[in-house]
Amino acid sequence: MINLAIYVLLGINILVCILLTLLVLMQKPRSEGLGAAFGGNFTESIFGAQTSDVLTKATIWLGAIFMALTLALGLLYSHRSTGNNKLQEELSKPIPTATTNNSSTNLPTAPVPTATAAPLPPATTPVPAKP
């Protein structure tokens, strides 16, 4: 259920990003930068004389929608990662200890060599030096 909501909101967020990018590029900048690429009076002929007000308001609204969708997606992703999934369940299982039963196997076993330790020299106590 969370995955479906994430995919739907992500699709809407991508659409809002594309529209926001187009609106920013269509706005007439103060120095006639990228706005001139659309033909100077392009936006005025479509939206009328109050083009800058319409585009500014639309940019503000789309920016707010983008921020809200991004926040909602972040919350949904955090809930999805804390949910139980099969990988987390498998990783959290305790590791079984291996027990061997030598009586049930007929494999020959090699004798374990015993190490003999060399005798240690007797402990000596230091003699204090005479002044």
How far is Cα 77 from Cα 10, in angstroms, rounded to an integer? Answer: 11
Asked if residue 38 has pLDDT above 60, the reply is no
pLDDT in tens, 50-78: 556 788 889 999 999 999 999 999 999 88
Helix (H) or strand (E) run with residue 21 in it? helix 2-26
Asked if residue 4 has pLDDT above 70, the reply is yes
How far is Cα 64 from Cα 57, in angstroms, rounded to an integer? Answer: 11
As given in the structure block, the two tokens for residue 14 are 């991508």
